[in-house]
Chains A and B, each alone.
Chain A
Amino acid sequence: RKEVEQDPGPFNVPEGATVAFNCTYSNSASQSFFWYRQDCRKEPKLLMSVYSSGNEDGRFTAQLNRASQYISLLIRDSKLSDSATYLCVVNPRGSSASKIIFGSGTRLSIRP
């Protein structure tokens, strides 16, 4: 089983739709979780950190479910500019050592 698994997609949704991605992780001791966004041929950029209490930033909401070992990302009122690959990132060793693991990414395409 991979340490971090994501549905590769692609998700093709109309502008204005709500779309959600899940990501599962295998190491129950993982402490830090992030969602990154990567545009084609560019470096990844942090979208948001994921906290146990969940967090929201505008149209984006991230949730963590430790019991089921998954994190989720919800995008509301999607825009054309949201088209990108979304990477789930997990630090499997906690805060003492930083070897983060990237999921393979979920491709999202927003159509007009």
Chain B
Amino acid sequence: GAVVSQHPSRVICKSGTSVKIECRSLDFQATTMFWYRQFPKQSLMLMATSNEGSKATYEQGVEKDKFLINHASLTLSTLTVTSAHPEDSSFYICSAESEPGGEQYFGPGTRLTVT
């Protein structure tokens, strides 16, 4: 099946700093990628939909100025958590779809801890 990579897999940063997470589709082109966040023992929550070459679409309650998304190519989307706070500590997962409405391939996730 299709492969999606995410980097880094784990990051610890200090409060107030910014962290960039990369999501890459390795063997297919993804016009649309998705960013999710999952807190412990909770379900995946969609944060934003990332479209190649255009602005991301953010879900209600997600601050676009805090979570910067860039989808510069058909195989790469980045999520930057700006001015991170401890409450941003979570498991961030990206996914990419090979075709609209089809299966979503998930990256392995990035565990962010803000101290």
- Give the B-binding residues of A (Cβ under 8 A): 31-32, 34, 41-46, 49, 87, 89, 91, 94-105
Q: Which chain B residues (97-115) contact chain A, with CB distance < 8 Å?
A: 97, 100-109, 111
State the 8 A-B residue pairs at the shortest beta-carbon distance, nearest first: A95-B101, A104-B43, A43-B106, A102-B44, A43-B109, A32-B101, A98-B100, A98-B101
15 of the cross-chain contacts (CB-CB < 8 Å) are: A31-B101, A32-B102, A42-B108, A44-B44, A44-B106, A46-B1, A89-B104, A94-B101, A95-B101, A96-B100, A97-B101, A98-B104, A99-B49, A103-B43, A104-B42
The yes or no answer to B32 lying at the interface (CB within 8 A) is yes
A43 (CB) vs chain B CBs: closest residue: B106
| Chain B residues within 8 Å of A95, by CB | 100-101
What is the bound-complex CA distance between A94 and B102, given in angstroms?
10
Q: Contact partner of A98 among B97, B106, B108, B111, CB < 8 A?
A: B97
| Interface residues on chain B, size class | 20 to 34
Q: Are A102 and B43 in contact (CB under 8 A)?
A: yes
Least CB distance from A56 to B in Å reads 18
User: Once bound together, how far apart are the Cα atoms of A97 and B97, in whole Å?
Assistant: 11
Whether A42 lies near B109 (C-beta < 8 A) is yes
The residue of chain A having its C-beta at the shortest distance from the C-beta of B4 within the complex is A43
Chain A residues with Cβ below 8 Å from B43 are 87, 102-105
Q: CB distance A45 to B106 under 8 Å?
A: yes
